[in-house]
Structure 1
Amino acid sequence: MTRLHSAAALAAALLMPAHMAAQPPAPMPVTRSTTSLPDAVRQQTSGSKAPSAPLALPYTETFSDPAALGSFYVRDANFDGTTWQVAAEQLRIQANNAKAMNDWVITAPINLDAGKEYEFSFDARAHSSYYAEKIRAALGSAPEASEMTVTLLPETTLTETDYHTFAMKYTPAVSGTYYFGLHGCSDAGSFYLWADNIRISATAPPTAPAEPTLSGLPDYDRRLQAEFTIVAPDSDIDGNPLDGLTKIVLMREGTPVHTIDNPEPGQAYTCDDTLPPGSEERYYSYSAIPYNGATAGREATMQMFMGVNLPGPAKNARALEDNNSGYIVVTWDKADTDIDGYPMNPSLIHYVVYSNNGELLDEDITDNFCAAQYLTLTQRYHFYIVMSETSAGLNDRDFPQSNMVALGTPYTLPFAESFADGKLSTAFAIEYNEGGRLEQTAKAEALGATPADDDNGMLVYTSGTDSSAALLMAGKISIGEDAVNPVLTYQYFKTADSPDRITVAINESPYFDMENFEDVHTVSVADGTDGWNRVTVPLTDYKGTVIKPAFRFIQPLKGSAVAIDDIRLFDQLDHNLKVRSASASHKVYANNPLVFDIDIENIGAMEADGYTLSLLCDGQTVASVPGNAITSGSRAAMKITHIPSVLAPAQSKYHMTVDYAPDMDPGDNTSRQFDVITGTTPLPRAVELSATPSDGAISLTWLPVDLATATCEVFTEDFEDYTPFEIDNAGDWTFRDLDGAATWGISGMDFPNEQNPMAFIVFNTTGYHSAMDASSGLQYLAAMSSRGGVSSDDWLISPPLCGNGQEISFYVSSQSTSYGNERFQVLTSRSGTATTDFTPVYSTDKVPAIEWARHTCTLPDGTRHFAIRSYDTNLMFRIDDISFIPALPELRLLGYNVYRDGERITSLPLTQPSYTDPQESDGSHTYCVTAVYDKGESRPSDAVTADYTALSAIGLDDTPQIAVNGTTVNCSAPFEIHDLMGRLRAVSPSPGSLSLPAGIYLVKAGAHTAKVLLR
């Protein structure tokens, strides 16, 4: 039994859904946004050569033999490598996403006589009603696209998936050799254009018999035989009555198979035709030709499939979830005809069932049902298609689709859907839509409405007739037995005199079919106030059940529109604040404010007051602000700010909490986590910091910064600071596009400047699949493959460098290696940024797909700029996190800041490279110092730790002073150090310091002795 082996064929079949299913985004293969044919079907190209022998008329070609295309000239006039081929015993051409079709299939030569009428006909159809196709037909003097100048059928748009026969007559003025051709001219981005049954014949004279009526009926059990009925004509072609007929000949493929002698005009006759044993099962061309003497009349033609044909479709497919058991049951009415509608023994027909995502449920089914266990946990809507098949193959053109059914774990309270950014975050489906249009949008021009919750998304239903209606279904939602006051709330937008009605319907049946929805609440939009109105629907009757809520839109006036937003199901407690949304930048520079925005909603029944908003960084509270009172059902927008210092980690985790003592459900009082990068400048640091404990203080010293000899620190460019999808430049980085060609996009992705000529683009990964992720953060630079066969040549040139020899590092990645490895070079310039100033120093094609790989390269002394050149790009070359030492800008040193244990202890920058930190008690402290410039604050110096111990002398007075710093003893007078056994371990003949291994010692200075711990 033939099955649907091709994923492309299944995808084609599924492009004609009657319903819409909303599902979470799934991983997708990333490919070029173009189409190409498999090698197996690259049978003919623009250079194909057909036999030169003229065709004998009448001529018919049914393409039942795949080699039939060899008798045609095929011309790929747009040179895209995609042109006509034979598929499934028909002519077919696949569209190109980038170019309009311009492809001809042209017959062998035909000798036509001047003044004689000829008929040309063919069948054509579209592959999907969602994609319009275009075709024309013409005659020419030579088998070339430019010579097909006599239009028989002007450009015609096809939207039907059933074949339509086009018949055209032509009388040449000059006898000679002609060529007949079909021109595929569909727009770019269409699907498949199909054609079949090319026929050419000379027409009969006006006095010849008119066309008889020819019909047929194949064998019920599909043996190689058929019965034909011929009704003899009763007039000539001009309409004059016939006195009689000599004969009617039934022809198969041009060969007589039965003759009716002396038929009576207007009478019906039947005859059989049986093929020889072993004949091929396929369509055969039959014709009935009436004769009046030797004069042949106008023939009647038909196609008859002899043998087992493709089956007709099943009917009334229906899907049911078996009471949340994890099983799905699909039923249908069996097919009892073939694909042409002729009765067929149902025992010849089997069935294959697919889900809308292409998953095979079962195959080779002889019953009218199948059951399968689904494994998905994330709830999604599905529908199912039932395809019928016979030994002839699978009917992938006509098949029923089931109702929508929600599979997966039911949602629990609280549930929310707000159509944020014009997208669905939960499972929704449209079960029916009669005459209207449902769309997720950020703005409804007809209503003057923007989203109720300011999240750039809402749902709008617009009527297309005077009686539009639709049913929008949410997924399954479990209302727990312990729910106190479950409710469904939503908002609708009212304009003046709106006639629309919105009904909330609930389905609690274990079988979530449409008939089980019960209307529980209806609003007339006109009864609301202008603008957004909140509706609350009690759900206490449904505690302990799993329901499927739905919205029924009824719009009696064409052109009216209604918007809904902010759909929620939750347990409405007396006191309940909820963090609805929060946002912040993903990068901030040290000493700059990092602002967090939060939207707090009171979903409780009572007013909320006396709450506090807190901001936590890496688990520590860094800011708190009090909130204002919020009435029930209202929201408050708040801001909270933190300024990270230069000592902040390179990346920190932030979140916000709402502290509200009466809150009965604090589980929704915490925002999502924000991973924030803290950037610092590469300005010269202070170095060689030391900390020495002394009498009552710790003394700090460091080397002063000398701007005459200083260089910047290593800087890592992560491209997070630049405008997303910019293609002209990125800060001080220079882009050079030497190829100047348009670029390829990526299938399934839309982004600004896509396909424009460019060198590099600042690619922002927000909202895209994880395969597009950056090495760090959200952005990187990308070079795209050039179109039109042009080799890419794209340059990224660095800002000015320090001029010293240095090692740079960077991360690179390919989007895919399916088209070949990406290649790049590193080049250096000792002068300017013209591409002619650069010399290569490094090159490789070892660029992995998806994963990021670190590369290093040594730049010679005197290098002022480096360039990274992407050349011969195959799809997408990506680069991120470039580390290098930039040139020192013009700076003015303002002084130094001192930090102790992470906190700044100097109010103003110090002008000298030293500081004394008074100590009041024993302890250990960590210090670092930063340099402060007119252009910012440097990164901190290396940290040092000092242990301060205020020692009481053992003797008559408090002098001399003895202090310990780690394993070093400092003393203000000459001193000796003994261990506890009395052995002399070290001597200092003058005031100073001595270091010993860790341990407990006795320090003697004159008449004074002290016990110290070195550690």
Structure 2
Amino acid sequence: MTDGGESDIVATRALAVGKPYEEMTESFANGRLNHIFLIKKLTSAEMSWSLYYDNGIQGIASQDKDNGYAASVADYIDAAGALETGKLLIPSDIDNPALSFYTYNITDEDQQADANLIEISVAEAGSNEFTTIYSRSVNEICQGQPGWGKALASLTAYKGKTVVVRIAAVVKAFKYTAIDNLKIENMTGHDLSIISISAPENVMIGNGYTVDVNVVNEGANPAEQYSVELYADNELVDIKECSDLPVATTEVVSFARTMHQLAEQPVSYHAVVVYANDAVSDNNSSKNVIVYPRQSVLPAVTDLTAKRTADGAVLSWNEPDISQGVYETVTEDVEAGEAWAHSLDGWTFVDGDDFAVGGFQNISIPGITIGETKASFFVFNGTETGNNTFRAHSGDQYLASMFRSDDGTVDDWAISPMLSGNAQTISFYVCSYSSQYPEKIEVLASSTGKQTTDFAVVREATTVGGNWELVKVSLPAGTRYFAIRSVATGSFMLMLDDITFEKSYPADHLMIMGYNIWRNGEKINTEPIGKCSFTDAEAPDGKVTYVVTTVYNSGESSGSNAAILDMSSLDRISANISVYTDGRNIVINGARGKLVRVNTVDGLTLHSATAGDIASIPVASGVYLVTVDRQTTKVFVR
């Protein structure tokens, strides 16, 4: 205002005022803010920041699973905009203060990298001079992996100062740049931690599986050399040597394991990261994860016997009865399937509509070209996408059926393995990927074969909701196969997981291929034994436990009954002479023509004679001294 009049209104630059925040933890939970932020447009092109619920942007759910995140949105390349905090007092009593948050790496069907830039700048309160302290592409922050990745910028230079922090997004590839779980934290100079350990809950005996350990560098410096130790029931079982873990990056260290064929008890795993420079030890060990063995229902030997002879331990048994076949209740969780495969062991998939399928805007599906590939059900790995909206009901994988590219009616069949034939209730979990474009399924049953014309409807077509839901269907006696059929029109993607049913191993499909011999828990044959007897000529001294497993064309049985021998009395006095017990008899083999004496420990002689090829001396339970040619051994008779 002057003597000449009053000017038009002009807005000043926004300036943070008031008492500074002494902490900053903002997770945007449920699409709401706990702190004040300023939205700053940095270019002439329009750009805005908004709060979103899970899947508010298709395919993006919150990093910390609290139903909220923030994201910038712009339609033009090089458009830039920022979130500015209010005044922040950077603590002076921590060594390495840092700003951290997560950003989401979007990919499209062409696997284009998310080149959008994220820049972090800092200005002291009251100043408009921002200094850029961090600039990386989203793809770099996320190490080329789709999904959420952690950005971490040191604020050590501003310890004890009051500042304003600006988080800017610059469009280079995609219109959205999402962030979540923002906070000021203390970066220790050197700090590796284990953030998770995972393994399947149940594993069939004899099968392999993987224990995955997630290690993150939460320190201010890169970690050059470190190792991860894996413990099973508190016993060290494997070590992986690792190197070069940059700041704020995560490494998945995988351990291959096998469920022992004779396992009956669960295995408890935990992991420890070992890093010489680590300044924080509290986060070096993982929690325990427990893996339960699943027993085979294939018929097992039940009458194993073991006997000591001069030639060693002689085992014998009878062939298991397979005349009636067997059946078991199983849950197909799809975890054993190959990710993205269009087949699954035992299952039959039929593409009844014979039409090309559709796909997703920002996520490609390996093996599927939108509008070209014809497909039925296939194995979908929900974790490889890095997108929580694709998560399985359990584990990582499930069966999926895509919509037709012309939005016509889908006709995809998932036909089960052979059933027991008993009346039973099957169950499964099903979900529509998008509740806006719901799926529809029907369930059918066949008492004969697996051709689609063999099936009759047992559950009429019903609409599927947008959350995992349990479906149960009763099947009549005599049912040999069931089918889950996708029949929606103008839908998106059907998700199917954890299918439980009673599976059959009919007698005419079972064939015994041989037997494996286990001594004290270790298999001692290299190829299956083709007969129902075995001699272990290398039985060690002491108590020995034998178990036999039956090898079939469709798998291997659980262990037989245990046969236990006490070989502690066996002592080869010379290269060709052996002394052992057989029940209440002391047996000397190979001492022909030699003087054999058997004494009690108090000196009483029970036997003294020249031996034949085999000498068998009956005695009572006790401890005896056996002398052959002036060489003496102690024998225990039970």
TM-score w.r.t. structure 1 length?
Answer: 0.37
Report if the CA contact (8 A) 1:685-1:713 is conserved. Answer: no
Q: Which residue of 1 aligns with 2:541?
A: 920
Residue 885 of structure 1 deviates from its aligned partner by 1.7
Gap change, CA 1:575 and 1:710, over 3 Å in 2: same
Tell me the residue number matched to 2:130: 519
Match of 1:836, SS state, is: helix
Matched residue SS, 1:929? strand
Q: How far apart are 1:884 and its partner, in Å?
A: 0.8
Amino acid at match of 1:897: N
Alignment of 1:850-865 (within 5 A): 850-852=468-470, 857=475, 859-860=477-478, 865=481
Shift of 1:941: 2.8
How many angstroms does 1:813 deviate by?
3.9
Kept after mapping to 2: 8 A contact 1:720/1:780: yes
Task: Give 1:31-42 correspondences, 5 Å limit.
Answer: none
The answer to whether structure 1 residue 435 and structure 2 residue 44 are counterparts is yes
Q: Which residue of 2 aligns with 1:797?
A: 415
Q: Distance in 1 between matches of 2:402 and 2:77?
A: 46
Shift of 1:577: 3.8
Q: CA separation in 2, counterparts of 1:594 and 1:720?
A: 11
d(CA) in 1 for partners of 2:122, 2:94: 20
Q: Name the residue aligned to 1:703.
A: 318
Is contact 1:811-1:882 (8 Å) kept?
yes
**Alpha-carbon distance in structure 1 between the residues aligned to 2:315 and 2:18:** 75
Instruction: Rate the CA distance shift 1:666–1:840 in 2: closer, same or farther, 3 A.
Output: same
SS at 2:272's partner residue?
A: strand
Cα gap change, 1:930/1:475 in structure 2, threshold over 3 Å: closer, same or farther? Answer: farther
The equivalences for 1:962-973 within 5 A come to: 971=584
The 2-side partners of 1:377 and 1:503 are apart by: 17
> C-alpha displacement at 1:896, in angstroms?
2.5
Deviation digits for residues 634-663 of structure 1, max 9, x if unmatched?
Answer: 998966544444446798665543223442
The one-letter code matched in structure 1 to 2:620 is H
In 2, Cα distance between equivalents of 1:628 and 1:717: 38
- Alpha-carbon distance between aligned partners in 2 of 1:780 and 1:553, rounded to the nearest angstrom: 35
Query: What is the aligned length?
Result: 506
Query: What CA distance in whole angstroms lies between the structure 2 residues aligned with 1:931 and 1:537?
Result: 61
1:549 aligns with 2:165: yes
Pick one of 450, 456, 464 that aligns with 1:833: 450
- Aligned match of 2:237: 622
| Aligned residue in 1 for 2:614 | none
**Is the 2:347–2:417 contact (alpha carbons within 8 Å) kept by the matching residues of 1?**
yes
Q: Give, in whole Å, the separation in 2 of the partners of 1:429 and 1:647.
A: 63
**Aligned pairs (5 A) from 1:12-51:** none
- Work out whether 1:938 is the aligned partner of 2:550: no
**Of 778, 782, 792, which aligns to 2:396?**
778
Residue 1008 of structure 1: aligned partner: 620
User: Displacement of 1:624 after TM fit?
Assistant: 1.2
Query: Take 1:789 and 1:600, find their aligned partners in 2: how far apart are those partners?
Result: 44
- Partner-residue secondary structure (3-state), 2:453: helix
Please, which of 269, 275, 299 is the counterpart of residue 660 of structure 1? 275
Of the three residues 426, 441, 444, the one matched with 1:810 is 426
1:710 is displaced (CA, Å) by 6.4
Cα drift, residue 505 of structure 1? 0.9
Say if 2:367 is the partner of 1:719. Answer: no
> Is 2:153 the counterpart of 1:505?
no
Secondary structure of the corresponding residue to residue 302 of structure 2: strand
**Structure 2: runs of 5+ lacking an equivalent:** 1-12, 50-70, 102-116, 137-142, 144-150, 571-578, 587-616, 624-638
Query: What residue in structure 2 maps to residue 406 of structure 1?
Result: 35
Matching residue's letter, 2:81: A
User: Residue in 2 aligned with 1:470?
Assistant: 81
- The secondary structure found in structure 2 opposite 1:884 is strand
**Counterpart residue identity of residue 834, structure 1:** Q
Q: Which amino acid aligns with 1:811?
A: S
Partner residue of 1:690 out of 285, 304, 309: 304
What is the DSSP-based 3-state SS (H/G/I as helix, E as strand, rest coil) of the residue aligned with 1:703?
Answer: coil
- SS, match of residue 446 in structure 2: strand
1:786–1:552: structure 2 CA closer, same or farther, 3 Å change rule?
A: closer
Residue 734 of structure 1, aligned match among 340, 348, 352: 348
Please report how far the alpha carbon of residue 623 of structure 1 lies from its aligned counterpart in structure 2 after TM superposition: 0.9
- Alpha-carbon separation, structure 1, partners of 2:380 and 2:410: 18
Q: Judging changes above 3 Å, is the alpha-carbon distance between structure 1 residues 321 and 901 closer, same or farther for their aligned structure 2 residues?
A: farther
How far apart, in 2, do the equivalents of 1:463 and 1:951 lie? 86
Secondary structure, aligned partner of 1:811:
strand
- Are residues 518 and 537 of structure 1, via their aligned partners in 2, closer, same or farther at CA, if it must alter by over 3 Å? farther
Task: Please tell me whether the aligned partners of residues 222 and 245 of structure 2 are also in contact (alpha carbons under 8 angstroms).
Answer: no
Deviations 1:556-607 (A, max 9, x none): xx99x9x999999764555444568999999988455748586675946597
Matched-pair contact (CA < 8 Å) for 1:436–1:461:
no
Native 8 Å contact 1:685 1:938 kept in 2: no
SS in structure 2 at match of 1:406:
coil
Distance (whole Å) between structure 2 residues aligned to residue 501 and residue 778 of structure 1? 30
For 1:17-416, what aligned pairs fall within 5 Å after superposition? 379-380=27-28, 406=35
Q: Deviations over 1:485-526 (max 9, x none)?
A: 435699xxxxxxxxx99662157x7xxxxx78773556899x
Contact 1:784–1:873 at 8 Å: present in 2 too?
Answer: no
- Using the TM superposition, give the Cα deviation of residue 665 of structure 1 relative to its aligned residue in structure 2, in angstroms: 1.3
Distance 1:719 1:438, change over 3 A: farther
Which whole-Å deviations, capped at 9, do the CAs of 1:351-377 have from their partners, x for residues lacking one?
Answer: xxxxxxxxxxxxxxxxxxxxxxxxx99
* Contact kept in structure 2, 1:438 and 1:461, CA below 8 Å: yes
Q: State the Cα distance separating 1:821 from its structure 2 match.
A: 12
* Contact 1:739–1:790 (8 Å) recurs in 2: no
2:147 corresponds in structure 1 to none
1:125-163 per-position Cα deviation (integer Å, ceiling 9, x unaligned): xxxxxxxxxxxxxxxxxxxxxxxxxxxxxxxxxxxxxxx
1-structure distance, mates of 2:439, 2:152: 57
2: CA distance, partners of 1:873 / 1:640: 44
Question: Residue type matched to 1:690 in 2?
Answer: L
- Amino acid of the residue matched to residue 812 of structure 1? F
Aligned sequence identity (%): 23
Quick one: distance in 2 between partners of 1:572 and 1:864?
Answer: 61
Alpha carbons of structure 1 residues 431 and 781: separation in structure 2 relative to 1, 3 Å = same
Using the alignment, how far apart are the partners of 2:378 and 2:427 within structure 1?
16
Q: Distance in 2 between matches of 1:435 and 1:1007?
A: 105
- Secondary structure in 2 aligned to 1:658? strand
Could you report, residue by residue, the CA deviation over 1:5-49 in whole angstroms, capped at 9, with x for unpaired residues?
xxxxxxxxxxxxxxxxxxxxxxxxxxxxxxxxxxxxxxxxxxxxx
CA contact (8 A) 1:474 1:550 kept: yes
Change (3 A) 1:524 1:827: closer
From 228, 237, 240, give the equivalent of 1:613.
Answer: 228
Letter in 1 for 2:27: Q
Gaps of 5+ in 1: 1-315, 327-375, 385-403, 408-427, 441-458, 491-499, 510-514, 526-531, 953-958, 963-969, 974-1004
Structure 1 residues 885 and 715, CA gap change in structure 2 (3 angstroms): farther
Q: For 2:218 and 2:464, locate their aligned partners in 1 and report how far apart those are by CA, in whole Å.
A: 52
Give the letter for the 1:435 counterpart: S
Give, in angstroms, the shift of residue 687 of structure 1.
2.3
Q: Show CA shifts across 1:416-472 (max 9, x none).
A: xxxxxxxxxxxx9954343358899xxxxxxxxxxxxxxxxxx99999699x75334
Change (3 A) 1:1008 1:733: closer
The one-letter code matched in structure 2 to 1:920 is D
Distance 1:740 1:847 in 2: 23
Query: Paired residue for 1:896, among 515, 528, 542?
Result: 515
